[in-house]
Amino acid sequence: MISIQELSKIYTSKKKQVIGVDKVSLDIQEGEIYGIVGYSGAGKSTLLRCMNILERPTSGKVYIDDIDLLSLSKKDLRKARQSIGMIFQGFHLAMGKTVLENVAFALKAAGKPKQERNDRARRLLELVGLSDKADQYPAQLSGGQKQRVSIARALANDPKVLLCDEATSALDPNTTQSILKLLKKINRELGLTIVLITHEMEVVKEICDRCAVMEEGKVVEQGAAYEIFASPQNALTKRFIRTVIDFHVPEELLKKSSGTIVQMKFTGGQAGDTVVSDLLQNYKIKGNILHGNVDYIQEKALGTFVMELTGDPQEVGRAVESLKTILDEVEVLNHDRSADQPVARAE
């Protein structure tokens, strides 16, 4: 659906060149929700604007639905953009127009007759849950309602792609959740391909099928959202994930413990297995769960448990080695102080 090939965007000032996007390549599949995450200045919004040529790339290729956008004339590019909807953090609504008029405006620009524009706009307002707000003005709406109007307007010309630039950043957590649910509903009901720009990993966790992490204009990691959360490779990705799933164990707890503290990560079906109870039954040790959490990414479980194991040091060591053969990730955070030979730290 969307293919970005070696795309770069360089801004030139009198004194120096600034690289906004640095040789980025992405393939976004039809019908998926794809997240692009990064801190401010990472280049993610510039990349998004290059996708519909609001920013013209310095080099590289942009294909949407097998159409090379950079090869199009201005007239053909305007026509191609009708299949690409876009929503922004700041809503960008016409304050002097009603909600209905805001949604219908995009259809007017496309040359649709008035009755068709209004009928289509009303159907879209019903889709986003604002059919009762058609005659109100943006100033009368909450932030979440304004964003719903923006979404309806972006859908006016029945696009195949919806680009979302920090669409939830200005909203409170509850409103953010409602907008994400709406985007997921639109994705499922309309089969729309959605690209989300965000600095919040929670957004990726909630609705994205796949994602890319950007830093200094480059994509430093990309893949299925679940795999990114379960096994992040890049240091920046790990920092982002810690904002959503915190595996931190307080240092005081480690100092006070006299046993061996082990952190275990459960992925997929492992989260429902009886690994911990089997461990305590099979080895002559005692276990105390210090921390446990299970998250769901794309309806797949990702669990983390931290346990203190006590008993004969050799038996504890055998139990830890057994865990390593079962689970993808096992890390010893603190060793039994009574052990003559500490258990080797997991890789």
255, two tokens: 């100092």
In 3-state terms, what secondary structure has residue 214? strand
**Predicted confidence (pLDDT) at residue 272 exceeds the cutoff of 60:** no
- Look at strands 2-12 and 59-64 and give their pairing: antiparallel
Other CB atoms closer than 10 Å to residue 4's CB: what's the count? 22
pLDDT, one tens digit per residue, over 190-247 is: 999 999 999 999 999 999 999 999 999 999 999 999 999 988 999 999 999 988 887 6
Question: What percent of the chain clears pLDDT 90, i.e. is strictly above it?
Answer: 63
Separation between Cα atoms, residue 86 and residue 49, nearest integer Å: 9
- pLDDT at position 73: 94
Give me the mean pLDDT over the 236-265 stretch.
82
Angle at the Cα of 331 from the Cα atoms of 330 and 336, rounded to 5 degrees: 120
- pLDDT at position 128: 95
CB 85 within 8 A of CB 159: yes
Provide the sign of the torsion angle of the four alpha carbons 274, 279, 280, 281, taken in this order: positive
Phi-psi region of 129 (alpha: psi -120 to 50; beta: other; left: phi over 0): left
- pLDDT at position 346: 43
**Predicted confidence (pLDDT) at residue 345 exceeds the cutoff of 70:** no
Other CB atoms closer than 10 Å to residue 333's CB: what's the count? 18
Separation between Cα atoms, residue 345 and residue 347, nearest integer Å: 6
**Predicted confidence (pLDDT) at residue 343 exceeds the cutoff of 90:** no
- Give the domains, in start order, of the chain with CATH numbers: 2-242 (3.40.50.300), 251-334 (3.30.70.260)
Residue owning tokens 């990705």: 237
* Residue 10, φ and ψ in degrees, nearest 5: -120, 125
Give me the mean pLDDT over the 254-271 stretch.
79
Beta strands in 136-185 (DSSP E): 161-165
**Predicted confidence (pLDDT) at residue 302 exceeds the cutoff of 90:** no
pLDDT, one tens digit per residue, over 87-142 is: 988 888 999 999 999 999 888 877 888 899 999 999 999 999 999 999 999 999 99
